[in-house]
Structure 1
Amino acid sequence: MTPHPRYPHIFSPLKIGHTEIKNRILMGSMHTGLEDQPDAGERMAAYFAERARGGVGMIITGGIGPHPSAGYGAKLLGPADVAVHRQVTEAVHAAAPDVKIVMQILHSGPLAGTPDCVAPSPVKSRIGRHQPNELTEEGIAEQIAAFANCAALAKEAGYDGVEIIGSAGYLISTFLVEKTNQRTDRWGGSWENRMRFPVEVVRAVRAAVGPDFIFVFRISAMDMLQGGMAWEEVVSLAKALEAEGVDVISTHFCWHESFVPTIATMVPRAAFAGVTGRLRKELSIPVITSNRINMPQVAEDVLVRGDADIISMARPMLADPDLVNKAFEGREDEINTCIACNQACLDHTFTGKLTSCLVNARACRETEVVIAPTAARRRIAVVGAGPAGLACATITAERGHQVTLFDAASEIGGQFNLAKQIPGKEEFHETLRYFARMVELRGVDLRLNTRVDAEQLQAMGFDEVVVATGITPRTPALPGIDHPKVVRYIDVIQGTAQVGQKVAIMGAGGIGFDVAELITHAGTSAALDIDTFAREWGVDFKNHPRGGVTGIEPQVASNGREVTLLQRKATPVGQGLGKTTGWTHRLTLQRRGIKMVSGVDYLKIDDAGLHCTIGGEPAVLDVDTVIVCAGQEPARGLYDDLVALGVPAQLIGGAYEATELDAKRAIKQATELAIAM
């Protein structure tokens, strides 16, 4: 079978070192938490084998520690660990003998999260828990030997190669940057001394594994730090690593403590690939690029431009393990696209939870969530075509049930149709495109513009009804809530409500932040334009100053509205947003001059504005418009009516629990119900 002609570059083989990969798509490294489970070998084997069958050319595992001080996650230190990893490599090679699997070696350094963490100098990271212990000369030698030993054990475990991560604020990268390496011995000071540690690590690893073993090194091509690496340093390091026997250079962007988003949905697709392309011109070995490349055409375009030899897709492989096969067969419309929300992947990782995926609740649960054909076909009605209803309907139909999906609206999507209107959340269109195709492909009987009641459903004789009717916005019992100044957030997002120049937003959860973004936005969405993104986050792609950042306070375009974002809780506004993306939303709105006020008690609304107390002190906000984002109530009236009639019914999504319109929870719940019916 020949690949689809749209992607000739993706599906051309590539020589790397002593071997060859069958195509240019790599499943990039992600720490999922599977590494830490009691049955880690079995679960990682199932997880990686499914992605190997999905068509990728090469897989890089999550980071594995080479030394007891390496920090979070699993380590590869001896024979017992080798046995666990052999389960993984054997499963991958059995599933797809032509797929290479490479183990990433990760030493977290000052980010290790333990008092025993180490670094070249005792400089605490902004996001680290502890001040690291300064490595002695003997300690440095011990760490170098540990990297070499870990690589040798990886080879023994059946891996095809190793990747060493020398970026992100982990141990190796802290040797490279002056702010974190303040040593005055041969490991610090001049650039030649600061790059000595990674060079010695590479030299020791190559000696330990021999020439016939894939060796990838991940470098900070642009670390997004004030005082970070200069471009000339990036190039000289890459050349030195090539000379020491590295087969592939993988480019990474941003330290974890940087104030520049690099993988959130507000980042343009392939925003950083041009930096990789510049480095590629300096080297004779293949180069990998990454970050916000989530669809085959984006990958093909990067390869056509000559910006990389290999495309790393990490989170897209959580969202759709079969992405590459679908591209090969020209079935792009069937790809469940990563929307870069971070809610179930990185937010979970950085809070110690098992990684999954908002749009694919099976991710990292392959041994638990099994979509198997049903033994007895039944007639199922699903009412509500939001994310929960769509997931339940399509998976239930995939299993062989006869499914009818009702919705009163004229299009599928529910609350996702609101989310996709917010600048920076354009990727939500992709999820709805995917579900629309799955509805068609799985044979779901879709009935839009159709409002059904319990009696009608009972008369239709369904074996079971799944109620996914979503939410209704909560209207607070407040004097003046029906004043002409007051509008609902739904009407604002849909463009049916007039919004004045001076605005108060009641409620500072995720919806409040989205509404604030929408009503103050001006110009092109940064998520759709790399130059706009660079201006808004102070990145200089053209001149590449040290660290890649300008050092000038970024300016975010605004339409000039005066907006106050209010919340009842006394905690900082936005504290409840996602761990890895919340700070980006707060910064963006702050740069637009939006006021954020907590500890508010609402009193009334009248011609004078919004009357309230702030921290116990009375205040009147002179505003033209009050937008109510005061939470939601489950819309479960249909469910109650069905139960009263004795019709078998299930409740999922916002109709089950309306808190913060959690699509992650809704799709997970819908998936679990679908595989059980």
Structure 2
Amino acid sequence: GWFTPKALSPAGVEATIDDFARAAGLAQEAGYDGVEVMGSEGYLINQFLVSRTNKRTDEWGGSFSNRMRLPVEIVKRCRAAVRDDFIIIFRLSMLDLVEDGSDWSEVVALAQAIEDAGATIINTGIGWHEARVPTIATSVPRGGFAWVTEKLKPSVSLPLVATNRINTPEVAEAILASGKADLVSMARPLLADPEFVNKAAAGTPELINTCIACNQACLDHTFQMKRASCLVNPRAGYETELNYTPTLSPKTVAVVGSGPAGLACATVAAQRGHKVTLFDKSPFIGGQFNMAKQIPGKEEFFETIRYFKHHIDRLDKNLDLKLGIEVSAGDLTGFDKVVLATGVTPRSLKGMPGFDHPKVISYVDVLTRRKRVGSSVAIIGAGGIGFDVAEFLLHTADAHPAPPADAFSAPTLPQTDSFLNQWGINPDAMATRGGLLPSDRAGKAAATRKIYLLQRKKGKLGAGLGKTTGWIHRATLQQGGVEMIGGVKYDKVDDVGLHLTTKGGTPQILEVDTIVVCAGQLSETSLEKPLRERGITPFLIGGAHLAAELDAKRAIDQGSRLAAEIETASPEKVGELVAPLGMAGWLFQKFTERKANK
């Protein structure tokens, strides 16, 4: 149940400090080379530092010298509990990104006091978890907060660590070479590829499976009480359960479709020793990722396509890639195993008057620029795709059709200056408390068009978006003036625009130029029936298996798990090829369902 919080007693403060020191001593005894004291991100130590949360009137509150006593005493006692050569890293919140956070003079004073107390290294903490500013999502520029670390360097002599959105060796090396920091820290990139450092050291960075900062299988999982894993590396967290052992009975495998599911299945099967032919009617691999990479805030999805391309090139003895070929059932009769990873087709508004009006187009038409988009747009469907399309149209002034982009052309990545301006971060580094500009000075990019985002369901739009990124998408659209309307009934489309009924029963006409349908998808399984007629039972994976919201995490996981056991797997049980939920995840799911049904 709930409880009323109370201030930690002076004895409790002392006990907490001793707990840190005891933990450091135990870590040394266990054979560790060092510990990191978590003094940032709005946790307990950070809460003592700032007046927004520290309301104490004793020796642990009031003046800044009192407020910083806790972290300083923790480092002192940790140092006293361990050898002189034992590493003590202190993660210091250099940019709180909340109102009434630390100012820069306090950051410097704390860093100097931490150095005097016996720390070995200072790591950079960026933002409280309560901050309404992205700090680790894809929309954050690569190395976008290294400038904060650089600003502290003249004030201390300890090595400083830069952090947040450092996901390639090139980004890391640029930070170090420029002198912005002495070290860099990474976490999620090592989930994406545990061989990151080895590949960089070997001079093969192109083989790194790059973290795309999506948070879908790592951080989002922790909020759902699931095991932390990785969208681009489903073995993360399952290393002893999901094994790609060399096969003892090689098969010939046809995989149709080179989207996320097909790429994962084909490469894992080939890696295990099967002879794989990967077909796609497109001239490029990547499937829906080629559209995703165009969405502002999802540019990193390009890296997954790039990784798979290099992976395929290295598997050329076992993997034959055939692009620009639309296969028939007859083309697949000679294979031992056939996998359909043929994805989805957009659902239409068929049945609604005016569903075929020229104003009505699909999200595929928009993201491939096959059709023109006007200056006023209604988007039907506010799931992940609807939000993506709104984001794309909000930042894409060019409404003219264009040829499909080359899958291997990298999109333009977010730039630090524009990011800081968009989110109201003070580029003078904490001339204001918490590093935030007054809300009326935060920059807002001019919207390129008027956008309505609509859904049939009542309640908050985008409720199914990830916990760690959904709020960012909503905030970005609000910054751009996107009007979000839930609980609507779509009546018809005509030359005037979209006719609908609001949740209050009031008729309304949105006089828009374009209506973009993002109302779900249908599995593309047209090859299944002719294959079965020839006595071939194919495996259906990814969108071809389940066409609910496009789910790259499930697609890559399912494709990988099928390939790991394709010799014995049953096409009828492909739905069971998912990461186990676990007891904690199951309980959380049941609790959430029960809460929703109340």
TM-score after normalising by structure 2: 0.90
Deviations 1:167-222 (A, max 9, x none): 11111000001010011110000000000011111111111123131111101011
Which residue of 429, 432, 437 corresponds with 1:550?
Answer: 437
Aligned to 1:634: 523
Q: Which amino acid aligns with 1:603?
A: D
Larger relative contact order (Cα-Cα within 8 Å, sequence gap ≥ 6): 2
SS in 1 for 2:167: coil
Q: 1:61-460, aligned counterparts within 5 Å?
A: 132-443=5-316, 444-458=319-333
Work out the CA distance in 2 between the residues paired with 1:351 and 1:280. 39
Aligned to 1:495: 369
Work out the CA distance in 2 between the residues paired with 1:557 and 1:645. 57
Q: Which amino acid aligns with 1:595?
A: E
Q: Which amino acid aligns with 1:647?
A: I
Are positions 1:504 and 2:391 aligned together?
no
Work out the CA distance in 1 between the residues paired with 2:498 and 2:429. 48
Q: Which amino acid aligns with 2:391?
A: E
CA contact (8 A) 1:522 1:558 kept: no
Deviation at 1:526, TM superposition (A): 9.3
Deviation at 1:435, TM superposition (A): 0.4
Aligned to 1:624: 513
Aligned to 1:567: 455
Q: Which amino acid aligns with 2:517?
A: V
Which residue of 467, 488, 492 corresponds with 1:600?
Answer: 488
Aligned to 2:405: none
Deviations 1:66-102 (A, max 9, x none): xxxxxxxxxxxxxxxxxxxxxxxxxxxxxxxxxxxxx
Which residue of 406, 414, 427 corresponds with 1:541?
Answer: 427
Deviation at 1:149, TM superposition (A): 1.4
Deviation at 1:457, TM superposition (A): 0.7
Work out the CA distance in 1 between the residues paired with 2:17 and 2:302. 47
Work out the CA distance in 1 between the residues paired with 2:49 and 2:8. 15
Work out the CA distance in 2 between the residues paired with 1:426 and 1:402. 32
Deviation at 1:350, TM superposition (A): 2.2
Distance change in 2, residues 1:543/1:318 (3 Å): closer
Work out the CA distance in 1 between the residues paired with 2:208 and 2:414. 20
Deviation at 1:522, TM superposition (A): 5.5
SS in 1 for 2:507: strand
Work out the CA distance in 1 between the residues paired with 2:234 and 2:154. 40
Work out the CA distance in 2 between the residues paired with 1:441 and 1:242. 48
Aligned to 1:125: none
Aligned to 1:667: 556
Distance change in 2, residues 1:131/1:439 (3 Å): farther
CA contact (8 A) 2:148 2:429 kept: no
Q: Which amino acid aligns with 1:270?
A: G
The percentage of counterpart residues that share the same residue type is 54
CA contact (8 A) 1:166 1:220 kept: yes
CA contact (8 A) 2:447 2:481 kept: no
CA contact (8 A) 1:555 1:591 kept: no
Work out the CA distance in 1 between the residues paired with 2:98 and 2:142. 21
Q: Which amino acid aligns with 1:590?
A: Q
Distance change in 2, residues 1:131/1:239 (3 Å): farther
Deviation at 1:336, TM superposition (A): 0.5
Are positions 1:649 and 2:522 aligned together?
no
Deviation at 1:556, TM superposition (A): 2.6
CA contact (8 A) 1:526 1:532 kept: no
RMSD over aligned CA atoms reads 1.5
SS in 1 for 2:549: helix
Deviation at 1:507, TM superposition (A): 0.5
User: How many equivalent pairs are there?
Assistant: 548
Q: Which amino acid aligns with 1:257?
A: E
Work out the CA distance in 1 between the residues paired with 2:529 and 2:95. 56
